[in-house]
Every structure is written in structure tokens, then in C-alpha cells.
Structure 1
């Protein structure tokens, strides 16, 4: 039995698993948070807590309901300065024995409920935590006051096109203003 089994981070769900509600709390240590930050390609995971419960919902199916709380540090997408973000997410997974079947043509119809997953023999709660955190990270963190500005590129000898020129109704607005001045 490895350490994760002793800490309750791998929970048996398949045949023969106990059919009772199971509470869990995972608070990774500094070394585990540093390894997770490296795996996610971010600067740091300062705080991390994953608490919840696994609940049997039928003879064989299960629901995982949890709260993810984290403080992460990422590079600003503009300046590369460190940006700290607070993440509070509700995590919900339903592990079901009956999933959509393969239909004619080899296509599988995806369920509308994205929380549904096939029932595994066991679930690694640490893996669920890592996935939930990866999905919750801000995709383009910005330091306070960071601005992309305006980049202007053109061929030599030609007038550059500015952001203002690319507006879809800029010409109509100019025409309206021109016509309004003639009245």
C-alpha cells in the first residue's frame, strides 16, 4: 500500500467498494505545491485546499462534490511581472456505470453534462485536484496597470493602419459626421 492509499487520496469506487459517503480534505505541503506549480508552468502555488465528499447516488454510481481554494502566482501576460490570483471553485464529478454508447459511423454522442465520467475502479483525488486547478487558472493574468498598447506595422512608404481604422463602423461614423456637418 503506497502513502496515497494511507492518506485516503485514492478511493475505491468499483465493485466491492464500501457504499458509504466519504469526506476528504487535501492540503498539500510546500514541496507538493512547488511540484504542482512546476507541472502547471506557473511561478507558485502559495495556498491550496481541496475539501469535499464522495457520495453514492445509486447501486453503483457516485458523485464527487468539492471546494477548491488556491492562491497562485503566474507571470503577467504583458510584463512578465508576478501576478497573484485567488481561486475559489466548486468541483463536481459524477461517476456513472452507464455512458453514451457508440453509434453508427463510430461517433459518440457527448452528454450535455460535462461533469459525467465513466465509473473508474478507483479515483485519485489528487489527480482531480490537479485537473480542477489547471482548469481554473486565469488564462491571461495581468499585472495592475499592464497594457498592451498599440502595435503599428506597415510597409515602408505607406500609412500605417491603426486600431481605430479597423473598427467595423468607423467609415460609417465618419460619413455620418460629415453629413451632419452639411445640414
Structure 2
């Protein structure tokens, strides 16, 4: 069983006091190196996660925090190192009576800050989740423009939008017949 509370794990359920809990985490070099490896970063130079957990209602909690990080990753075009500063405001609601919204498979809910209430909140897991969302997907070195690539046989004409519409030819044929 995990500990009741330490620097990174905080018990949210049970008989403990329901009072605001502040935290200020600055993971050590080994932890930053592990996160950098997990997210294919060249380096994770700085990392800070600071904020508070505030009780709301009878059993719910709200997490208000700031995630600050300096990440280094290769440019998506030149492979040169790109350094990015991340400063994100984090807001999450942990709900005791949370239930998954009923949505179709292809729909994604915009209201993503409500989550089920865990017995113990692992702040390192929250750091990892939020950092993974904040890391640039396609970093670019300064002065490097987006690359446009085409894959077609030599001498072939580019595919036009009209060519991808299955009934375009039928429509054209019908309009010529009329």
C-alpha cells in the first residue's frame, strides 16, 4: 500500500483533515533524466510543479498549479537542439461522484479537467501527464520554415482536391449531357 502522504503522493480520501495543501516540487536530476528519456527529449533542464489542493464540497478536491519546465529536443527538420520554455497553468477537479460522460466514440469532450477522485493523488503522475501535453510536437530551430513534402512518381501530375472526390467525374459527365 502506498504511503499516506509524502512529497509527491497525497491522500485525498479517508479520515484525514480536509484543508488546503500546498506543494512545490522540483524533481532532482535523475527524475528529470527519466522524464526526458520517457518523452524522447534531449534534456529536461528545469522542472517545477507548484500549487495547492483545495477541498471543494464534502469530498471533492481542486488542484490549482503551475508547471514550469525547460525542455531541449531536436528540431524536426535540422535535428539542431531546440530549447523551449514551458509555463502552464493547471486546473483539475477530482470528483468523488464522477462518472464518464456518455459520448460517441469519435467525440472528445472539451471539459477535460474533471476526473475521478483517487484515494491517493500521485503528483509525479500529474507532472508527467501535463508535461507530455505541453511539449511541442514539432519543434523548429530558429529560422527554419515548415517543410512541404510530396511523394509522387517522377513526371506525375499532383493530385488536386477535385481528384479525390469520388462523384466529381459523374457530376461533370451529367452536366455535359444536359
Q: Residues 100 and 111 of structure 1 are in contact (CA less than 8 Å); yes or no, is this contact kept in structure 2?
A: no
Pairing 1:51–2:65 present: no
Deviation at 1:146, TM superposition (A): 2.0
Residues 5-16 of structure 1: pairs in structure 2 closer than 5 A: 5-6=5-6, 8-16=7-15
Deviation at 1:125, TM superposition (A): 0.7
Aligned positions, number: 160
| CA shift in 2, pair 1:59/1:32, >3 Å | same
Q: Residues 65 and 91 of structure 2 are in contact (CA less than 8 Å); yes or no, is this contact kept in structure 1?
A: yes
Pairing 1:95–2:71 present: no
Residues of 1 paired with 2:29 and 2:111: CA distance? 35
Q: Say which of 139, 142, 145 aligns to 1:141.
A: 139
Partner SS state of residue 147, structure 1: coil
Residues of 1 paired with 2:109 and 2:148: CA distance? 43
Structure 1 residue runs of 4+, over 6 Å off?
Answer: 1-4
Structure 1 partner of 2:153 = 155
- RMSD value over aligned CA atoms? 3.1
Give TM-score, length-normalised by structure 1. Answer: 0.75
Partner SS state of residue 85, structure 1: strand
Deviation at 1:89, TM superposition (A): 0.1
Residues of 1 paired with 2:126 and 2:83: CA distance? 23
Q: Residues 23 and 54 of structure 1 are in contact (CA less than 8 Å); yes or no, is this contact kept in structure 2?
A: yes
Give TM-score, length-normalised by structure 2. Answer: 0.77
Q: Residues 19 and 56 of structure 1 are in contact (CA less than 8 Å); yes or no, is this contact kept in structure 2?
A: yes
